[in-house]
Structure 1
Amino acid sequence: MGKTYFVTGTDTDAGKTVVTCGLLEAARLKGLTTLALKPVSAGCHQTESGLKNEDALALMEAMTLSLPYEQVNPLALEPPIAPHIAAAEVGVSMTLDRLVGYCRGALMRKNDLALIEGAGGWRVPLNSREMLTGLAKELNTPAILVVGMKLGCISHALLTVEAILRDGVRLAGWVANQMDPDMSRYDENLATLKNMIPAPCLGVVPFLSDTSSGRVAEYLDISTLV
């Protein structure tokens, strides 16, 4: 089997999906087979074939293998709120064991690189006892952190790194994703993060009007991942 990573972010709008799609495209350009999962999504829209999530659909478009939507995004929730609150509202049971089973089933497909995209930041509850990021630990999957570059990102990033490592998960790398084109002292913030995050920087994605996977892949280096 290939390498599997859990992609998390410093917060909800850090750009996890944009970066994950870019990583998938960078792998495709190297001739690698890829798959991606979005185990839990909130903020789904109704379609003729059921609830669908834009992030999960983007992952399906970017990966090379073909999987049914239900395998990519087994828990699709309509309310655009924290997943555990959305699940309670619609009467869906979310447990770590259930998600681990879904992911292991999908990951049986032969691949070179698999990416599991989380929801929101690192500390996202599944229920009153379990966190979504328990998936990374249960599946023995290293993490990739997407840092949304904006005011306050240094604290968000370092606290997330601290939590990842404290949970016993290896940090395989991180990506700086510029969210604010007018961020003050951008270069100094980036230099601080490169100095203080104990993992390789896999890329620095500038503020882009075109966030297609091909465009984002230009700024990423996956050599340490594969």
Structure 2
Amino acid sequence: MVMHNNGLFITGTDTGVGKTVITAGLLGALRRRGTNAIAIKPIQSGGILRENQLISEDAYFYGAVTDLPYTSRELNPICLQPSLAPAVAAEIEGVTLNLETMLDHFLKISAEHQLTLVEGAGGLMVPLVSTGVTVADLAVRMNLPLLVVARPNLGTINHTCLTVAYAKARGLKVAGIIINMYDHHNSGVAERTNPGLIETMTGVPILGLVPMVEGLTVEGENPQPGDLITLIENYVDVDQLLKTLNHEIF
């Protein structure tokens, strides 16, 4: 099945690089400019119990940043409690996963919105349904271009270039790279030179160097976005990203 290409799949070079922050920030920036955009987390492992309901803190954060209400079934249809790779978490909980459920949900949501941001789990090689079905398989089946979120410091060249190379080998179009948690005032030599080297070595544009957001918290009962949307607008070339996606929604 070929999906409609009205979305963007957001992955990371590793866990903890800030995919959720970038996803929520982009969502807020798009909605602020009038785009009917939404973000979804097809599967969350490491869900937390709140008022006897298992929720995705990642998807909940989308609502903290924007005017979207947190509706678990819409923003995050599958939530698992163990903080492990989804395939392992599902096995522990006795839950049967399949790509078709995630794809059907994406089709439904994307049909109702101009642009759907899909946040993956960890990196592309994270086992999603089994060791043979990974996050990359979901991105391929959705037929979405990829946005790679990377960290700024030593080691990121290898992780980012490997992620892009694998994505291209799987036939995925890589729309761009965003380097998150970038210190614009006290960066070392590695941080200053990494973006240019990554762009040259991958042939993929660096679309933003996003700094740490003062006061931002994703986790907990009262997540705080700080000035995330404004920072995304100031430090990410959203117009170039949309042009790359062939969307004329300015």
**8 Å contact 2:56–2:72 — kept in the other structure?**
no
Matches within 5 A, 1:6-85: 6-48=9-51, 50-63=53-66, 68-85=71-88
* Equivalent residue number for residue 200 of structure 2: 195
* Equivalent residue number for residue 219 of structure 2: none
**8 Å contact 1:35–1:64 — kept in the other structure?**
no
**8 Å contact 2:123–2:135 — kept in the other structure?**
no
When the two structures are superposed, what TM-score results if normalisation uses the length of structure 1?
0.90
Paired residue type of 1:214? I
* Runs (4+) off by over 3 Å: 60-67, 179-184
Matches within 5 A, 1:46-125: 46-48=49-51, 50-63=53-66, 68-109=71-112, 111-125=113-127
Residue segments in structure 1 that go unaligned for 5+ positions in a row: none
* Equivalent residue number for residue 205 of structure 1: 210
* Equivalent residue number for residue 216 of structure 1: 231
C-alpha deviation, 1:183, in angstroms: 5.9
**8 Å contact 1:43–1:78 — kept in the other structure?**
yes
Tell me: higher relative CO, structure 1 or 2? Use CA pairs within 8 A at least 6 residues apart. Answer: 1
Q: Is residue 137 of structure 1 aligned with residue 153 of structure 2?
A: no
Q: Which of 166, 169, 172 pairs up with 2:172?
A: 169
Structure 1 CA distance for aligned equivalents of residues 53 and 163 of structure 2 = 34
Summarize the Cα distance change of 1:180–1:12 in structure 2 as closer, same or farther, 3 Å threshold: farther
SS of corresponding position for 2:209: strand
Residue by residue, what CA displacement relative to the aligned partner does 1:159-216 show, whole Å, maximum 9, x if unpaired?
Answer: 0000110111100111011267976421011221232232222211123334433243
C-alpha deviation, 1:66, in angstroms: 5.3
C-alpha deviation, 1:86, in angstroms: 0.8
Residue by residue, what CA displacement relative to the aligned partner does 1:108-133 show, whole Å, maximum 9, x if unpaired?
Answer: 21x22210000101111121321122
**8 Å contact 1:204–1:220 — kept in the other structure?**
yes
Structure 2 CA distance for aligned equivalents of residues 216 and 91 of structure 1 = 41
Residue segments in structure 2 that go unaligned for 5+ positions in a row: 217-224
- Percent identical among aligned pairs is 33
**8 Å contact 1:36–1:60 — kept in the other structure?**
no
* Equivalent residue number for residue 156 of structure 2: 153
When the two structures are superposed, what TM-score results if normalisation uses the length of structure 2?
0.82
**8 Å contact 2:11–2:146 — kept in the other structure?**
yes
**8 Å contact 1:39–1:74 — kept in the other structure?**
yes
Q: Say how many residue pairs are matched.
A: 225
Q: CA RMSD in A?
A: 2.2
